[in-house]
């Protein structure tokens, strides 16, 4: 998102300078069209803030995994939010820890796999990578 904001600092105005906060005169059109299927979800600033907070926590957990794998595993297990987010974080902790602490790496990946299986969202490539890591010595 940050790179998109850098590329388009004024949002839609970066694409069409005629966009303003005032309604267009009747008959005046923009060159930009928006097509949508279904309803467009309403913007929820609180949800955006929660998501940003969880992302900060995830980054802190990844840094912690480099210094203290056990605490990183505990933090990843306690991460709030969707199971998919927690699963991805656990697998990433397992990958970061890797062979330095294979016991914690296996536990992290195993717990991540459990969450992934329960949500039935395993993709073939990711599953193969996780399975290889889980079966390492």
Q: Are residues 90 and 128 in contact, defined by beta-carbon separation less than 8 angstroms?
A: no
C-alpha distances (whole Å) from 88 to each of 93, 96, 116 are 9, 12, 8
d(CA 89, CA 115): 11
pLDDT of residue 121: 44
User: Does 132 reside within a domain?
Assistant: yes
User: Does 10 reside within a domain?
Assistant: no
Average pLDDT over residues 91-120: 86
User: Does 11 reside within a domain?
Assistant: no
Per residue in 27-72, pLDDT tens?
Answer: 776 666 667 677 777 888 888 898 899 999 999 999 999 999 999 9
pLDDT of residue 9: 79
User: Does 17 reside within a domain?
Assistant: no
121 is in which domain, residue-wise? 50-137
Average pLDDT over residues 87-97: 92
d(CA 106, CA 104): 5
Beta strands in the chain (DSSP E): none
User: Does 36 reside within a domain?
Assistant: no
**Residue 122 banded pLDDT, cuts 50, 70, 90:** very low
Q: Count up the domains in the chain and report the number.
A: 1
User: Does 71 reside within a domain?
Assistant: yes
User: Does 24 reside within a domain?
Assistant: no
User: Does 30 reside within a domain?
Assistant: no
By the 10 Å C-beta count (0-12 exposed, 13-18 middle, 19+ buried), 77 is classed as middle
């Amino acid at each position: 998102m940050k790179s998109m904001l850098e590329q388009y600092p004024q949002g839609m105005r970066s694409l069409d300078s005629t966009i303003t906060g005032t309604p267009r005169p009747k008959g005046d059109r923009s060159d930009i069209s928006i097509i949508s299927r279904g309803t467009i979800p309403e913007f929820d600033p609180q949800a955006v803030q929660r998501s940003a907070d969880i992302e900060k926590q995830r980054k802190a957990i990844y840094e912690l995994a480099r210094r203290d794998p056990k605490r990183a595993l505990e933090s990843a297990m306690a991460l709030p939010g969707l199971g998919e987010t927690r699963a991805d974080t656990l697998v990433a902790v397992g990958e970061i820890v890797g062979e330095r602490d294979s016991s914690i790496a296996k536990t992290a990946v195993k717990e991540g796999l459990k969450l992934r299986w329960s949500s039935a969202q395993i993709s073939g490539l990711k599953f193969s990578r996780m399975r290889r890591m889980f079966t390492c010595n």
